[in-house]
Amino acid sequence: MLARVHSALVQVPDFEAARRDYARMVGFEPARLERGEGGARSAFFVFPNIALELREITPGGAETPRPGQGGLRLAWEDGDPAQTLADRGLAIGPGQSQRASALGGGAERVWTRHVLDRSASRGFPVELVVDESPDSILEPGERVAVEGAEDRSAQFHALDHVVVMSPAPDETRAFYGDALGIRLALDKTFDQRGVRLIFFRLAGLTIEIGARASADPGPDQPDRFGGLAWQVPDIDAVHARLAADGFDLSEVRSGHKPGTSVCTVRDPVHGVPTLLIQPVQPI
């Protein structure tokens, strides 16, 4: 069964710049740097409910990702997912053994990768991770703070939600809910905002499907990565730190959910729409 959202993937053309900028933004250094079998480097920033992977775009291959293009990996536990998902009408690719070596020393990471049918996921990359070893990639461990973010209140805490934009939300809802079996928490149209939002929740993380309320279904248009929304314990402290470090941000404002405060990080985010949220309940 699905256990959690393993990681969110962001493709970046300038790996070193992205690694530095994201460390400055979240407030701490990546927990792991590695090189995959294809030669691409990755940096993992680990949070209590997910890992963020920045992966270097390398030349070659059948399809070169766009900068900032995203994807999701879901951790599967207790056996082979093929039969379970086939019973729900979802085709998955055969398991592919994957290996990645740690840069600068450390344990090799080994796992099995199942690629989900792109037509079912409406073109948005979704994979299953099975039998990962070592499994420490999702353990937050001891963070190495960047300068100016030694206080945890000035660091990012966790991922609140990952956004997937869909021109055909009913089909996307069927994929995440009926086929994958992720719990549906909300499906609501907000007429004043002109949007329909569908929330799926898995192990403390929300996958938010966003769509225009008035749009006709667009089955020929793929779903796309819509960005990341991060929880922060003190949005004023994080905002002040990032502004002092040269980031381009909006002002802090009230969120749509009563009692929350939000702001947008505009640059440098390497193509990823980025929202900061201070929740109602203290972190």
Supply the CATH number for residue 232's domain.
3.10.180.10
Element (H, E) at 17: helix 15-26
Whether 220 is covered by a domain: the verdict is: yes
Predicted confidence (pLDDT) per residue in 130-167, tens digit? 999 876 666 767 899 999 999 999 999 999 999 999 99
Whether 144 is covered by a domain: the verdict is: no
φ, ψ dihedrals at 144, nearest 5°: -105, 105
Do residue 18 and residue 107 come from a single domain?
yes
Whether 143 is covered by a domain: the verdict is: no
Predicted confidence (pLDDT) per residue in 39-79, tens digit? 999 999 999 999 999 999 987 655 678 888 999 999 999 88
Is the CB of residue 242 less than 8 Å from the CB of residue 194?
Answer: no
How many folded domains does the chain comprise? Answer: 2
Q: Which amino acid makes up residue 270? A: H
Do residue 171 and residue 102 come from a single domain?
no
Enumerate residues 6+ apart whose C-beta is below 8 A from 26. 45, 52, 155, 156, 230
- Mean pLDDT score of the chain: 92
25 pLDDT more than 90:
yes
Provide the pLDDT for residue 249.
Answer: 98
Residue range of the domain that includes 75? 2-138
Enumerate residues 6+ apart whose C-beta is below 8 A from 27. 145, 146, 149, 154, 155, 156, 238, 241
Is the CB of residue 46 less than 8 Å from the CB of residue 23?
Answer: no
Do residue 191 and residue 226 come from a single domain?
yes
Provide the pLDDT for residue 6.
Answer: 95
Do residue 159 and residue 197 come from a single domain?
yes
Do residue 127 and residue 162 come from a single domain?
no
Is the CB of residue 49 less than 8 Å from the CB of residue 4?
Answer: yes
